[in-house]
Structure formats: C-alpha cells, structure tokens
Structure 1
Amino acid sequence: MSDVSVLMEEDAPPSSRARHALLKRLADVVSLPASRINAFERAVTGDLLVDMLRLASRDDRRRVAARLALLNEIPNSLARLLIRDEPDIAGLLLEQCASLTDADLVACARDAGPEHRIMIAGRRGLSEIVTETLLSFEELATTERLLKNETARFSQAGLEEAVKLSRLLPVLCAPLLKRPEMRPSSAYVMYWWCGPENRRTILQRFAVSREVMQEVVEDVFAMAAKEGWSDPVSRKALQFIERRQRNRAAIEKSPFENLEEAIAVAARDGLTRETASEIAYLSGVKPLTGAKILGDPGGESLAILCKATGLSRTDLLNLWRSMRRPETTADGLTDPDWERVQITYEMLAVDRAQTVLRYWNWSLSSALTPELLRAIREGDEAMVDEYSAPERAAMMVLSQDFRR
C-alpha cells in the first residue's frame, strides 16, 4: 500500500472512512497496468471515480490527483475533471502527467483560468496547437513562461502573435529573440519597439547577407532589363536583391546634386518635410519608410540608412544634426543615444544594412495597397493576406501609428 493510500484511509474521520477507502481503491484500479485491466474496465472505473470526486473534499481530490499524476494512461473523463480543479490540484497533472493529450490541454486552457494556463505553459514538449491557444489569451505571465520553455514548439502564426503582443509588453522582446523559431521578418518588425540591447541583438543575429541570392539571379537582371522591367512582380523582387541602394532616377529629378548634399543642407537649415522626402527618394526608399527611420526615437535606424547607402561618418553626423539631436550631455560627455548610433554604424556591413533597410521599405510601403491601408486604419486583420510577410509586417508596425 502506498503512503498516499495509507493517508487517505487513516486520516479520514470515522463517518467518511468508507468513502476515503473507496476513493483509494478505485484510484488503485485505475492505476493498474494494462496486463491487469483492459481499457473498458479502466474507463468504467474512471467514470465512477469522477462521480465520487465531484462531491469529494479538496484534500481527497488532491490525493487522487497525486496518485494519478505519474500514470501513462488516465481515463479521459477523470483527466478532464482534475485538470480543471483548483490550481494546486490541477497542477499535479498539468505540469507532469504524460497522458494528457493536446485536446485535453487546449480544452483546459480555454475553460480554466490564468493560473492553469501558466502551468500548461511550463509543460515539456508542448505542440504548436497548444502554444497557439495559450498565446491567444495575450497574458503576460503565460506568454513569458511559454517563451522561456525551451521544449515548447511554436508555429509561425503563434510566434507572430507573440511578436504582436511584445509591442504592448516590451519585456517579451528578449525571450522572443532567443527562440530558435524567430526569423528575420519577425525580428525586423520587432526592431521598431525594442530597446537598445534587443536592437543590437537583432542587427547582430538577423541582419543577413543577400550574396547568395545575388549570385543566383545575376543573369536575371539582364533579362528583366531587356523586357523593360515590365513585370512588377519580378521588378519588386530584383529591387530587393540588387546591390545598388541609391535611386539614380531620383537624383536626376532632385534639386540636390546628390544624397550627401541633401543631408548637408538639412544639417545647416534643419530637416523639413520636403528635404526628408528627398533624402528618402535619393536613398532608394519610400517617404513613409524614410519618415519612420527619421522619426525613430532611438536613432539606430539612421546608422542603418547611412551604412546601406554608402554615406560616411560625416554624413551620419550631419543627418543627426539635421534633426537637432544632442551630441553631448550637460557634462560634456558624448550623448548616449549618439554614441549608440555611431557604434551601430561601425558594427554593420553595407550588404547587411541594405537587407534590413530594404525589408523595412518592402514591408512598410511597397506592400501597401489601398485595401491594406484601410485594414490597418480599421485594425481589421482578416483583410491581411496570411501568406504575405510584408503585409503582416506592415499591419504590426503601422497599426498603432495610424490610430494616433
């Protein structure tokens, strides 16, 4: 007889000793190996035990849960009852019982409370369907524990839910960036609301090269040029891949001789809306992308723009000055934001900076159709193409901006 069994019988007052003994014996029967009891007998015994447990005391329910927690097979009706019980009782099964199925966990997550979901989030080997369900509740404690669970598996849709939630709860950014499922598309989107350390992680880990793509499609540029760049789909993709960042056509129409001059004038006279648009066009990005970069409170985005377009450190300083951002503190030391921007400029290679800049431009502007703009303004995610990474990125990055 197990210690739990002894306690259940000896601790019971005389008036309920029979009930305790019966609960214990039925739990023993359910726990028998398959060689001693078949599935039908186990199920019937489980049904009887469920009926008794519904009227049992809290201590009795906890004892039975402890008795069954280590089993590899529990009648489904019994499992459903116990995992919806009070947190300290349900937790005995939710955190360690191997016999619980994805259906059991999903149903419990939906029917029970936040404490139950936190416990589920800590289980080993959670599947994508369970993690998606837990993330749908948008609870900080559950999501944080789930992201730190190294054995949990995330679908791309589930991960994007966590990325979206991180905008409201920045504390989720760090554990999100450690997830092996994270991809550049999600990291580049998250960049806009991350703090300095997390931004540094994104640029170090996810600022990838386009060298392989450039080698593979090198001859396609000539084909597209011969066709007069008439196919918008291939033109957009090739614009993302090509080595040249600056817009040569914009230089011919610009009142400035080049990008450097536009930035120098902005440093001298201040950054106007017109000059900002010219800087964006000359840099090969849309004004909306340029506005997002120039309005970035952290400032690291300026370093990415300058490195991607081949601008010098002097040009970076001019761009910083054009927005009248401080270079030093009241004590005469280098302003921490300006110091961080300079470090970002030095750490990035040109090709990798271009990848980040082009992804921003691709997602923030080139994917913006009138329908998507309306969806962003109205917050209607159902109108976003679930297969389009740029559309989903634009929805996440711009939704708050459009509602201000």
Structure 2
Amino acid sequence: MADHFTASPTAPAPQPAKRNARSVLTRRLADIVCLPSSTVTPQERWMVADVLDEMLRTANPELRGRVAARLAEQAEAPAGLLRRLALDNFEIAKPILERSQALTDFDMMEIARAGDVSHRTALARREQVSETVTAALVAAADPHVLTILLRNSGARIAPQTMDRLINLASEDYNLALLLIRRAELRPAQAFALFWDVGHDQRKMILSRFAVGRTILQDAAQDVFPLVANPEDQDALVQRTLFYIDRRQRNREANDSSSYGGLEGVAERAVNGHDEALRMEGARLANIQLSLFERILGDLGGEPLGVLAKATGLSRRHLGYLSLAAGFAAGSVAAERSEYVFDTLSVDKAQTVLRYWDWSFRGREGANAD
C-alpha cells in the first residue's frame, strides 16, 4: 500500500516593496538635494528642492518622514523645504527640530509662532538656542516649554525677554524658582522676583544680589555738593544720587515728625496702623507708600528685616514692626525677619530697599501715564 505524504505548508515568497512613479521620483529628488556641494551647484539644489517641495505636499507621511530625517543631517539643506518639513506633523518634523544645523533663527522663530507645543518643546531642547529664538518661545508662554527652556544652559535670554519671564513668574512659582538660577538675571529683575518666591529663594537672591555701593559712593563723592547749587538741579542726577547716598532716612522729616521719628512710628504701629501712620512711616523711610504697605503686608517677614536694617532701626524696633505686621514673637516670619536683619549690612540692605523703591516708583509712574 502506497504511503501518503502531506505536504507541509510553506511561507509565501516575500513580495518586493511596492514601487510607483511618485515614490521613486521623490526619492530620486531627495538624493540630489542631499548631495554634497562639490557635486551639485546651489542653483541646481534650489531648482530640485522646488520640485521636491511640490511633490512632498501630497506625499504620504512615511515618505515625508524619510526625507525629513535625511535633510536633518544636511548642513546645506534648502531653507524653504526644510522649514516646510519642520512645520509638518511633529513625528515628521522631530529630527529637523532637534538636530538640523541648517535651520536659521528666522526659521525657528516662525516655527515657534506657527507650530504647536511639541514643536516649541523640541526647539527649547536644542543644544544652543539664540536670544531671538528664546524670545519667540517665551512669547507663546507655554509653561512646559518655558520649564524646558530655563533648564537648558545652552539657551540665551535677552534682558527684555527676562523681563517678560519675570512677569510670567509672578503667577508661576515653579518658573520663579528656575529663573533665580539663570546667569542672565540682573539685580533689578531679581529683586522684582523676590516677592513671588519662598524663604530659601529669597536668601539666594539676597546672597547673590545684595551688594554694597562703595564703588559708586567713592565715584560720586564730589558730585553731592554740586547738586546743592540751584542752577544745577538735574532730576536724573538727583535720582541717581539718592540711590548712591549712604543715608536712607529723610532726616528733615525725621526731625520734624510728630510721631518721634521712624522709631515712634514702629512703636505706635503695634497697636494698629491706619493710612496716616503708614504714610508717615513711608515718608520717614524715604520710600513709596505702596512699598511700605507691601513690606508690612508680606507674609514671609524678610522685607521687614531689610527695611529695619536699611533705615537704621534697632532689633527691638524690628520686633515692633513684626508685631504690627501680625507676626507673633518667635513665629517663623518673625525669625526670618531677624535672620535678614542680622545677616545683611546696612549698605546692602539699602541697596535692596532702593531697588524696590525704584521699581515701585516706575510702576506708579507708568500707571499715572
């Protein structure tokens, strides 16, 4: 009896990848665009890029992704084609956004404006981010993008952009924490940021930016007598000398005060302070009323230490101000005010207080306009 054998099933033979005229032509054009400059002239590259750009408008995502990945490695990639692919779906645009050295600042500014959060995040992660690109990324105000950007040591921030970030940080505590560590942060910006951060960050700001003004005082020593001349009353010079001056208090006001000077204001404020008493305190301390009220209303306590040290109050009178601000003796806020009082010199405390006063004067002047 004949044996019967059952043939085992065999796998179908692999089919060649489907080829059509469009995909073949697109690949050919991409090959030419990616040729080195020794092989193709700029004019030829631009001509081919224009044709390829038109082909890619209707190409499938897989083909657009392949071309994007190749162009990301080309230092001489055609600008228009590169920018179009950089604004494509993020998975297609990703290699260009992350690696392409052919993207210009203008390209990246446009991508930051017209792309989505994923596009902006990729730009923020680049090894180097110029000031102009950073400004475009900050303009979108995406919290996630800003966090990535501020953690990037290769991102550069212009002063105007930092001002914008300071404003955003007033409503974003985590953003404020990142800004404090940036090398671009300037004293005026840091002291504006002071109000929106916690105790540890305030200590960092005071340690880094509360500096003495000896160099300014030595340079301006012979200028002070000149402003006493009625014929030489320059408002800008007077404002600058006020910042430099070693004296914080308004001496004439202090001598004529019906409250017995700033010490008297502090003693009476323990039992409550109305607007008249606060106005007198601001006048004697030589600062804006709005700043004086902000210091009394701050829940941290550190600004009270700055005020007391800058104006020459004693530690005892600092205690009176703490009670007036609602801080019980031995409370965390009272201890923080004492820490600042004990660790800052008079000159450094005056630097901080005058920066604050400049800021408040400028803000009120802008509101008046």
Under a length normalisation based on structure 2, what TM-score does the superposition of the two structures give? 0.91
Q: CA deviation at 1:226?
A: 3.7
Q: CA deviation at 1:274?
A: 2.0
State whether structure 2 residue 157 is matched by structure 1 residue 154. Answer: yes
Q: What is the aligned partner in structure 1 of residue 335 from structure 2?
A: 339
Matches within 5 A, 1:26-175: 26-175=29-178
Q: 1:380-395 maps to which residues of 2 (within 5 A)?
A: none
Over 3 Å counting, the alpha-carbon distance change for 1:107 and 1:323 in structure 2 is closer
Are 1:373 and 2:348 counterparts?
no
- Residue 252 in 1 paired to residue 255 in 2? yes
Matched letter for residue 136 of structure 2: T
Equivalent runs, 1:251-270 vs 2, <5 Å: 251-267=254-270, 269-270=271-272
Aligned residue number for residue 316 of structure 1:
318
Distance 1:366 1:374, change over 3 A: closer
CA distance in 2, matches of 1:44, 1:366: 55
Aligned residue for 1:219, secondary structure, equals coil
Residues 11-69 of structure 1: per-residue CA shift (max 9 Å, x gap): 9742x455444333322211111111111111122122222222222121112111221
Q: CA RMSD in A?
A: 2.0
Check the 8 A contact 2:327/2:333 in 1, yes or no.
Answer: no
8 Å Cα contact 1:83-1:91 kept in structure 2:
yes
Change (3 A) 1:12 1:216: farther
Alignment coverage as a number of residue pairs: 356
Amino-acid identity (%): 37
Given that 1:229 and 1:235 are in contact with CA atoms closer than 8 Å, whether structure 2 keeps it comes out as no
Whether the 8 Å contact between 1:30 and 1:74 is mirrored in structure 2 is: yes
Q: 2:367 is aligned with what amino acid?
A: L
Tell me the CA shift for residue 366 of structure 1.
Answer: 6.5
The Cα shift of 1:229 comes to 7.2
Q: State the shift of 1:102 in Å.
A: 1.0
Question: CA–CA distance in 2 between the matches of 1:232 and 1:66?
Answer: 61
Residue identity opposite 1:277 in structure 2: M
The C-alpha deviation readout for 1:222-247, integer Å capped at 9, x for no partner, is 11124487332222211111001111
Determine if the alignment matches structure 1 residue 232 to structure 2 residue 235. yes
Give the whole-Å Cα distance in 2 for the aligned partners of 1:350 and 1:322. 22
- Give the structure 2 partner of residue 290 of structure 1: 292
Per the alignment, residue 347 of structure 2 pairs with 351
Q: Check 1:103–1:286 CA distance in 2 against 1; reply closer, same or farther (3 A cut).
A: closer
CA–CA distance in structure 2, aligned partners of residues 247 and 367 of structure 1: 22
Separation (CA, whole Å) in 2 of partners of 1:227 and 1:219: 16
In 1, are the aligned partners of 2:134 and 2:156 still within 8 Å (CA)? Answer: yes
Alpha-carbon deviations, 1:301-339, whole Å to 9, x = none?
Answer: 101001111222211111111233233xxxxxx422222
Mapped to 1, the partners of 2:236 and 2:334 lie a distance apart of 39
- Residue 219 of structure 1: CA displacement? 0.8
| One-letter amino acid matched to 1:109 | A
The one-letter code sitting in structure 2 at the alignment partner of 1:293 is: I
Q: Which runs of 5+ in 2 are unaligned?
A: 1-13
Distance 1:215 1:309 in 2: 21
Measure the CA separation in 1 of the matches of 2:25 and 2:342: 74
Corresponding residue number in structure 2 for 1:176: 179
**Larger of the two Rg values belongs to structure:** 2
